[in-house]
Amino acid sequence: MPDMSSTTETPYADGKILKHTASGVGVITFNNPDKRNAMSLEMWEGFGEALASLRDDDAVRVVILRGAGGKAFVSGADISQFEKTRHNAAASEEYGKRSAAQRALLADYPKPTIASIQGFCLGGGMQVAMLTDIRIASHGSQFGIPAAKLGIAYGYDGLKHLVSLVGPSWARLLMYTGMRIDSSEALRIGLIERVFPDDQLWGETMAIAETISQNAPLAIKAAKTTIAQVLKDESGRDMDAIKAIGTACMDSADFREGRQAFMEKRKPQFQGK
C-alpha cells in the first residue's frame, strides 16, 4: 500500500471508510480488512458521505475507490447482517432502499471515477466497481457474483451494468454458476480495462488519475454525460444535456487555453471553466 503519511485521512463509518485528497485526486478506501472489506449498511452510508464531500470539493478532479489490506476491493455485502436486515423480501427491500441513495450517487457522479482492485471483488463489490467509470486490477484479483449460491436476486441495476460490460451470455454464465474468474479472464471479457502486477497497481492507477485530473474537466464531463446517454434507450436519452455540455466546452476559457497551449507548445493549465 502507498505511504499516506503526507496526507490526512478523514474517517467515516467509525473509520471503515477513509477519504483523502492529493494533487487533484480524491481517494476513498474501504477499510474493513478483517472482513475483506465487506460492506455493512453503516459503510454504505459513510461511503455516500465521502463521495458527496469529494463531489463538492472543487480541487478534486477525479476519484479513486480502493480496498485496504491488499486482500480485497470489496468482498460483497456483510452477510452477517443479513439475518437482521435481509431475511425476507420486505426486509431486503428496506435494506436495498438504505443503500440505493449511495449507489445512485456513484452512478450519476459528475466526476470521473476509477476502481483500483486488488484481491477479491465479489457480489456487492462488483456492483460498486461496475458503477465506476474505469476498473483497474492487479494480476491476483478475482471477480464473481455468488448470488445464486446464496439465493439472492442481484437486481436490475447491477445486471444492467454487467450486461453492458460483458454482454448477456457472460452475464448468464457468471450469474447462473456464481463462478469466480481471474483478472486475465475479466480483462478478456471486458469487465475490467487494465491489469498490472500487484506492486505496480497503485502507481499505475495514480498515473491514470493524474492524467485525467490534468485534462480539461468540461471535456471529460462532456464525454461522461454523452456516454451515459448512449447507454440509455433512445426514448430516454437527454439530447439537450449533450448539446448544453458541448456548448459549454466550446465557449469555455479552457478551450481557449487548450488552443493557446497547443500553439505555444506548452502544457495547458485547465480551470474547469
Residues 117 and 181 in one domain: yes
Q: What is the CATH number of the domain that holds 97?
A: 3.90.226.10
The structural domain count of the chain equals 2
Q: Is the pLDDT of residue 81 over 80?
A: no
The reported pLDDT for the residue numbered 4 is 46
Q: What average pLDDT does this structure show over 158-165?
A: 94
CA distance 102 to 105: 5
Residues 202 and 229 in one domain: no
Range of lowest pLDDT (23-32, 148-157, 203-212, 251-260): 148-157
E strand spans, 31-167: 62-67, 72-74, 113-117, 120-122, 134-138, 142-144
The reported pLDDT for the residue numbered 3 is 45
Give the tens place of pLDDT for each residue, 127-159. 999 999 999 999 999 999 999 998 888 888 889
Residues 128 and 82 in one domain: yes
- Dihedral sign computed on CA atoms, order 61, 67, 68, 74: positive
Give the tens place of pLDDT for each residue, 35-70. 999 999 899 999 999 999 999 999 999 999 999 999
The reported pLDDT for the residue numbered 5 is 42
Range of lowest pLDDT (8-17, 148-157, 233-242): 148-157
Give the tens place of pLDDT for each residue, 107-132. 999 999 999 999 999 999 999 999 99
**What's the domain range around 206?**
10-214
Q: Show contacts of 105-109: CB within 8 Å, 24+ apart.
A: 105/48, 105/51, 105/52, 105/55, 106/51, 106/131, 106/132, 107/131, 107/157, 108/228, 109/51, 109/55, 109/63
Residues 43 and 176 in one domain: yes
